[in-house]
Structure 1
Amino acid sequence: MQSAFKHLALGSAVFLTALGAQAQSSVSVYGLLDLSMGSTKAPGGSSVKTVDSGKMTTSYFGFGGKEALGGGLSAVFKLESFMRAHTGAQGRFDGDTAFARSANVGLSHTDYGTMTFGRNTTALFVSTLMYNAFGDSFGYSPSIRHYFTSGTTTGDTGWSDSFAYASPTFGGVRFGLAGANKNSGSTVSNGGNWSANVGYGAGPVSASLVIQRVKKDGATPVADTRTTQLGGSYDFGVVKAFAQYGEVENLSTPNTYKISGLGARIPIGAGALLAQWGQISPESGADRKTLSLGYVHALSKRTELYAVGMNDKVEGLSSGSGYSLGIRHRF
């Protein structure tokens, strides 16, 4: 009997130890679905009525995890895939990679920050979405459209074959470094990328400065561009104001683009009014001015309805426009 109790105690200890080890590790499944009905007219183009995915936020799903290793150190990973929810297709477009949003693994320490390797989201994209009223909307944010879909900055919102370091916050200040290596013999890259960023956030004030140099992308040839962006916001309570200014130097063309943006988010009950204006002023070429207005209404912490309209004017072309009525759900 005593032997049986010993075996039972030993088995219980092993079982509790296993439970403790499991408690130190976590994996989650998450994502976002954004679907809408509306109309889009590109500057100089014709109006097209569609059902769309990702007009306010690109639809995606992901897996993320963290394992505590002791002494404040943890192993972390992310695997995140874009999708077109209106058709069920994977990626943002045909040919997009399976985990184009993120695919990385690394180490994180409470005192020393986080270093990840693989495919990492760029600091420029994060800064651009943080300091405009429409966030990461490729459909309606003038800031996102002007930096990432208007032929100014080269390089995707995420870099493959990259490393990214993000510091802890020191008295509201944080900084980061990132780089993407050239693949030896690759036909889709002709150099390496790097970026550096510093930010501040305390109370109602937030600001960031990002500098990045791009020589590598998923296309050949890749224009060599250098982008500098300063962004900031101030939350007055009754309104949150946003401002951005950036310059993109295309060293291959050569040409320089000055990109400005002003915006506001005004809380109203369970929703908010959104307004964002932006302008591209190139050294050579046509100016572009974009204004978006919208309203988002929260049905819960995870589900929102939205109505948005946009005017998009390129000098010398008929005005572009668009509107969407949609739903955005996080899970």
Structure 2
Amino acid sequence: MKPTVDRILKTTVKATARAALSGASLGMLLGMTATETARAQSSVQLYGQIDEWVGATKFPGGGRAWNVGGGGMSTSYWGLKGTEDLGNGYKAVFALEDFFRAQNGSYGRFTGDTLFSRNAYVGIQSPYGTVTAGRLTTQLFVSTILFNPFSDSYTFSPMVYHVYLGEGTYPTYATDQGIVGDSGWNNAIQYTTPDFNGFNASAMYGFANQAGSNGQKKYSAQFLYFHGPFAATGVYQYVNFNSTAGDLDSLLAGYKSQSAAQAGLSYDLKFVKFFAQYMYTHNDIITGGFHVNTEQGGVTVPIGTGYAMASYAYSRSNGGMDQTHKSWAVGYDYPLSKRTDVYAAYLDDRYTNMSSGNTFGVGVRAKF
């Protein structure tokens, strides 16, 4: 069965039970009341994954590089998260998560990346929903990775290439396609509703944190729905700065803002799982805006104890550099255990008026 983001993010039942038992025992020793004991219950979990691959990369218009790389199927990271029971259905929650590059022992996804760039937040969980604040994974990123066969792979996922390897994020080649900004927002606050029979919604707002720049902002809203074999998502995102207030102009003269809307669907027939995504991106420029249409379709097919993956993505801009972007990928993932898998994959990537790019390799991923 294909690994999911949920499995990585959830606190294990055993760890919570041990923490609860430990809190109760301590409460009895100290003569605490039942209410005080419940409020003392807490848990902290260490978790993460290491993903390394060997192969070759050639970006469109560039040359080929053979390498040992990190994050073939998923970016390597480690994290600490915890909860404390506050009583009456309320809990304090926190998470600190750091990307790292096992191939050279460096922290972060690239030189200059911050230490806890995956997530760094604290919040309150209640019967009425969860509020978190800090550096938060964006809702657009969550929808992007949950509804394509290659999930969060920055090496082999066509949809990740079309959404996140572009303008203002990875300037390896000349393009005005892609989403402005990272997969996480700094100085952000988010509210997420409780789960309603597989449905939940969330809203997020990011501040520029700079005096005199209160009009500089980022915001988004999302819904997720999981019911049996069917799943769906819808998300909208708006930004008028990238990293610091007023910096869009450095990407493109007269750049004012960017908005994007994405929808995704999946359906699991057991012998094949279908994925589909559509995204509309509008770039507001002083001299006139332009938009980009992006579509992705893919499948996963169980073969033996593993599964095969295939995905195709297409993007077309109606202005700016007037580019067409086409990518397809195939791969196979084989689990050696519940926590360790090996994989092989190939990606073909093409832009208008550039030589084609492709990436291929084999790798291993271990979760802890």
Pick closer, same or farther for the CA change 1:180–1:266 going to 2, 3 Å: same
Summarize the alignment of residues 124-203 of structure 1 with structure 2, pairs less than 5 Å apart.
124-151=140-167, 152-185=178-211, 191-203=216-228
Pick closer, same or farther for the CA change 1:186–1:60 going to 2, 3 Å: farther
Superposition TM-score, scaled by structure 1 size: 0.92
Task: Determine the structure 2 residue equivalent to 1:254.
Answer: 289
Give the alignment partner of residue 73 of structure 1, picking from 90, 95, 100. 90
- Distance (Å, rounded) in 2 between the aligned partners of 1:16 and 1:315: 72
2:135 is aligned with 1:119: yes
Pick closer, same or farther for the CA change 1:86–1:24 going to 2, 3 Å: same
Task: Determine the structure 2 residue equivalent to 1:296.
Answer: 333
Task: Determine the structure 2 residue equivalent to 1:51.
Answer: 68
Percent identity of the aligned residues? 38
- Distance (Å, rounded) in 1 between the aligned partners of 2:297 and 2:145: 13
Give the alignment partner of residue 210 of structure 1, picking from 231, 235, 239. 235
Contact 1:65–1:76 (CA under 8 A) maintained in structure 2: yes
User: 165-174 or 217-226, which moves further after superposition?
Assistant: 217-226
Runs of 4 or more, structure 1, over 3 Å off, are 11-23
- Distance (Å, rounded) in 1 between the aligned partners of 2:364 and 2:134: 32
Amino acid at match of 1:59: S
Segments of structure 1 that go 5 or more residues without pairing to the other structure are 1-10
Larger radius of gyration: 1
* 1:242 to partner: Cα distance: 0.2
2:351 is aligned with 1:314: yes
* 1:46 to partner: Cα distance: 1.0
Give the alignment partner of residue 300 of structure 2, picking from 238, 248, 265. 265
* 1:17 to partner: Cα distance: 4.3
Amino acid at match of 2:208: K
Give the alignment partner of residue 28 of structure 1, picking from 20, 45, 52. 45
Over aligned residue pairs, what C-alpha RMSD do you find?
2.1
| Secondary structure, counterpart of 1:251 in structure 2 | strand
Give the alignment partner of residue 29 of structure 2, picking from 11, 14, 20. 14
- Distance (Å, rounded) in 1 between the aligned partners of 2:105 and 2:56: 21
Contact 2:83–2:93 (CA under 8 A) maintained in structure 1: yes
Contact 1:278–1:291 (CA under 8 A) maintained in structure 2: yes
Superposition TM-score, scaled by structure 2 size: 0.83
Deviations 1:186-228 (A, max 9, x none): 99x9711000112221111100110010123225622521000
* 1:286 to partner: Cα distance: 1.5
Pick closer, same or farther for the CA change 1:97–1:289 going to 2, 3 Å: same
- Distance (Å, rounded) in 2 between the aligned partners of 1:13 and 1:330: 36
| Secondary structure, counterpart of 2:103 in structure 1 | coil
Contact 1:209–1:228 (CA under 8 A) maintained in structure 2: yes
Summarize the alignment of residues 214-233 of structure 1 with structure 2, pairs less than 5 Å apart.
214-218=239-243, 221-222=247-248, 223=255, 224-233=257-266
Segments of structure 2 that go 5 or more residues without pairing to the other structure are 1-25, 168-177, 249-254
